[in-house]
Chains A and B, each alone.
Chain A
Amino acid sequence: MSGAKVWALHLAVLVALFAAQYLLPPYHATNLARVLVLALFAMGYNLAFGYTGLLSLGHALFFAGGMFAAGLPAYHFGFSAGPALILSLLGGGVLAGAVGLFALRTAGVSFMIVTLMFAQAGYLTLIYFNAWTGGDQGFAVPASGRSLFGFALSSDGPRFAVAWGLFALGFLVCLALVRSRFGRVMVAMRENEERSRLLGYNPFVVKLIVLVISGLYAGLAGGAWALLFGYAGASFATIQYSILPMLYVLLGGAGTVAGPVLGAALMFWLIELASGLTSAWLFLVGAALVVLVLFAPKGILGWVREKVWRGLP
Chain B
Amino acid sequence: MSFGPFLLLALMEGLVTAAVLALAASGLSLVFGVMRVVNVAHGEFYMLGAVIAWFVTTLVPGPAWAGFLVALAVAPVAVGALAAAADRLVLRRLDYDPEATIVATIGLLYMIQQAALSFYGPDARPVAAPFDWRLQLPWFGYSGYKLFVVLAAAVVLLALWLFMTRSKVGLVMRATQVDRDVAQAFGIDVDLVYMAVFGIGAALAAVAAVLIVPIQQAHYLMGHDPLLLSFIVVIIGGLGSLRGTVVAALVIGLSDGVISMFFSPTLAKILATLLVALVLVFRPQGLFGVRDR
Contacts and interface: CB of A to CB of B under 8 A. Distances in A.
Contacts of B266: 124, 127-128
A75 to B, nearest CB: 22
A294 interface: yes
A285 B107 CA distance: 7
Contact of B114 (A243, A280, A294): A280
B273 A124 contact: yes
B270 A109 contact: no
Interface stretch (A15-23, A99-107, A147-155, A196-204): A99-107
A282 B270 contact: no
Interface stretch (B68-76, B91-99, B178-186, B194-202): B91-99
Given A112-B38, A113-B231, A117-B280, A293 B270 contact: no
Interface residues of A, number: 37
Interface in B258-293: 264, 266-267, 269-270, 273-274, 276-278, 280-282, 284
A281 B278 CA distance: 35
A137 interface: no
Interface string B121-153: 000000000000000000000000000000000
A117 B110 contact: no
B97 to A, nearest CB: 9
Contact of A293 (B107, B114, B281): B107
B270 A125 contact: yes
Contacts of A114: 277, 280-281
A286 B110 contact: yes
Interface string A213-244: 00000000000000000000000000000010
B79 interface: no
Nearest to B282: A105
A289 B106 contact: yes
B38 A294 contact: no
Interface in B85-106: 90, 93-94, 98-100, 102-104, 106
Contact of A297 (B38, B100, B284): B100
B140 to A, nearest CB: 30
A241 B270 CA distance: 19
A118 B118 CA distance: 31
Most-contacted residue by chain B among A102, A288, A294 (CB, 10 A): A294
A293 B100 contact: yes
A282 B273 contact: no
B225 to A, nearest CB: 11
Contact of A113 (B109, B117, B235, B274): B235
Nearest to B41: A286
A79 B179 CA distance: 60
Interface in A70-128: 102-103, 105-106, 108-110, 112-114, 117-118, 120-121, 124-125, 127-128
Interface of B: 38, 90, 93-94, 98-100, 102-104, 106-115, 117-118, 228, 231, 235, 264, 266-267, 269-270, 273-274, 276-278, 280-282, 284
21 contacts: A55-B102, A102-B277, A105-B282, A108-B99, A110-B280, A110-B284, A112-B38, A120-B273, A124-B269, A125-B270, A243-B106, A281-B114, A282-B113, A285-B110, A286-B109, A289-B107, A289-B110, A290-B111, A293-B100, A294-B94, A294-B104
Q: State the 7 A-B residue pairs at the shortest beta-carbon distance, nearest first.
A: A286-B110, A289-B107, A286-B111, A290-B107, A283-B114, A117-B277, A282-B114
